[in-house]
Amino acid sequence: MKKIIIYSMIVAQAIVLISCSDDFLDTSPEASIAKDNFFNSESDLQLYINGLLRLPGYGMFLSDQGTDDIATTGAVEIKNILVGSPSAENITSGWSWSWLRSINFFLENYGKADIEDDAKKHFEGVARYFRAQFYFGMVKRYSDVPWYSKTLDPEDETLFKPRDPRAMVMDSIIGDIQFASQNIREDVSYGNINKWAALMMQARIALYEGTFRKYHPELGLENTAKNFLEMAEKASKKLMDSGNFEIYNSGSPNNDYAALFNSEDLSGNPEAILVNAYDVDKKKTSGDYTVFGNYEQSPSKSLIDSYLMSDGSRFTDQPSAGTMTFVEEFQNRDPRLAQTFVSPGWIAPGSTNPYVLELNKNFTGYHQIKGYNNSVDPAGVDVAVYRYAEALLVYAEAKAEMGTLDQNDLNISINLLRKRAGLPDMNLNGTNNDIDPILENRFPNVSGANKGVILEIRRERRVEFASESFRLDDITRWAAGKVLEKIPEGMYFPSLGKYDMTGDGIEDIDIIGSSEDIPSPKEKNSLGADLIYYKAGFFGDPSASLLLSNGTSGHMVTSKAPQNFEEPKYYYRPVPAHQVALNPQLKQIMGW
């Protein structure tokens, strides 16, 4: 067996979890568990807590769809908002409270257990971690939300209370996560919430709220932003000073980053703070095959362009950066690029030949491999829910936003990530004196003496966490929604003709005009393989199998529907209309 993990008692889910209905008046927790006969021992508490655990799996590598990082053919919410007519009638997901009811039910009953006080505090801390996690998600989505600290009966009048102010809810979240980080045990079962996971969650929450308040004047909370940024700095620094974690770096810059996402067992990896453990013996396999190829997920050229050259210079400063072919643009780049996306010469599982990218309509041409189990072995792959890299990036960003960042701060944070990738160090004076005009244009609300380094930290965050579900949250907290209005583009083809896609100098594909016929038999290349043919054309051309911006040349295009981001409205979501009908005190905010 691969390893013993917390999920062994699978009956926990059946005993604990209550109805998953969105209706707040649905079945109460007491209907699912007899509290007089439970909550008596530590094993009872552990069993219940197991059932509350929610860790992201390999679906996290699909969660950036619809952002400027990942184009998609799927009907994801942010895409529907940008191109449609969003309203409280058609945005109906998210207003679900069943998990909170289960958490609060535990907090009302765990004290009955005949166990030591430190054990009780541990389990209380884990439950309050979950409540902080739940409410953090609600605040990110709705801002003002009702705060409930107890389970409620259907007759309880507080079910129909109005939304509580964001500031009050965030203070309650911070109270929960601080208690959790101070009382949860360090030594827990693999895959369970530990002290350091709670501290990482605290740093993440504090950075999000601090930057959100700084860049969102519509809240009127700018003068409180620094308090959260200081909390983010202190929480991340405590992780850094613990000595328990370090950036995984074996001295192999072309492999070390990828090892974080294709390892069967991360239990010995010093970068993993919390792991969602997979075990083939328990039929818990992983590696999401839908992130790869032409299944909705489509990395953008904007993201590809963000990666630096291997010497630390900006790729976008290259004279022909916008018109390089696929093989050209992957040369001499930050090694993380080829460990995140298919690069020329990549070998697919079960094959001995370099993979030739599939190019289809409405896609960018680039293929993602982060989150893809590139193996024919059925063994599972662990997911790093929290990585030490995040603590370093939180620390650097919080200090930069407060104007207290110095070169040593960069050396103990960002530059450790760059060392793993074999890149030169980030220099504080250099970044502030040589500001990237593309980033400056993308984030026009960044100002001050640290403008350059803030922008470069944002680049580093985009690259390090590419396709790990951070991008929409980052765009939101930075008040940078306008970047989502640009329709993602893909790789560039200067003309019709034959192209090498594997980097061996031998042509693999032939792009012809949409009115031309594919020859039969197909022409073969020098290796004796049939060329792959694509018919190029514009949107609306039914004969085209490859959509290019200029029809017979240009960038691959993913859509022609105009995308509109209405500020500040679209940084928030409406309470679903049917919930407002049930509780008229739930007033809409921010123009919804």
- Per the structure, the complete domain to which residue 166 belongs is given by 6-56+96-246
Q: Is residue 317 part of a domain?
A: no
pLDDT over threshold 70, residue 28: no
The whole-angstrom separation of Cα 296 and Cα 362 is 9
Residue 48 near residue 124, CB atoms below 8 Å: no
Task: Name the domain count of the chain.
Answer: 2
pLDDT over threshold 70, residue 289: no
pLDDT over threshold 80, residue 322: yes
Q: Is residue 117 part of a domain?
A: yes
Q: 446-462 pLDDT, tens per residue? A: 999 999 999 999 999 99
Give the pLDDT band (50/70/90) at residue 17: very low
**H-helix segments, 291-404:** 301-306, 326-329, 388-402
Residue 290 has a pLDDT of: 76
Residue 26 has a pLDDT of: 43
Q: Is residue 415 part of a domain?
A: no
Residue 32 has a pLDDT of: 54
pLDDT over threshold 70, residue 95: yes
Q: Is residue 16 part of a domain?
A: yes
Q: Of 185, 217, 246, which residue sits at a domain end?
A: 246
pLDDT over threshold 70, residue 7: no
Residue 551 has a pLDDT of: 97
Residue 37 has a pLDDT of: 80
Q: Span 511-530, mean pLDDT?
A: 97
Q: Of 184, 214, 246, which residue sits at a domain end?
A: 246
3-state secondary structure at position 178: helix
pLDDT over threshold 60, residue 1: no
pLDDT over threshold 80, residue 4: no
- With a pLDDT cut of 90, the percent of the chain lying above it is 84
Q: Is residue 158 part of a domain?
A: yes
User: Nearest-CA neighbor of 545 among 555, 537, 557, 556?
Assistant: 537
Q: Is residue 310 part of a domain?
A: no
Backbone angles phi, psi at 536, to 5 degrees: -90, 145
* Average pLDDT along the chain: 92
Q: Of 192, 215, 246, which residue sits at a domain end?
A: 246
Q: Is residue 163 part of a domain?
A: yes
- Hey, which of 57-61, 284-288, 292-296 has the most confident mean pLDDT? 57-61
Radius of gyration, alpha carbons of the chain: 25
pLDDT over threshold 90, residue 522: yes
pLDDT over threshold 60, residue 406: yes
Lowest mean pLDDT, pick from 28-37, 207-216, 249-258:
28-37
Q: 537-583 pLDDT, tens per residue? A: 999 899 999 999 999 999 999 999 999 999 999 999 999 999 999 99
Q: Which two tokens stand for residue 542?
A: 């039914």
Q: How far is CA 30 from the centre of its chain?
A: 35
Quick one: CA dihedral 94, 292, 343, 68, positive or negative?
negative
DSSP state of 546: E
Residue 3 has a pLDDT of: 39
Q: Which two tokens stand for residue 349?
A: 């599982």
pLDDT over threshold 90, residue 153: no
CATH, residue 234: 1.25.40.390
Lowest mean pLDDT, pick from 336-345, 374-383, 406-415:
374-383
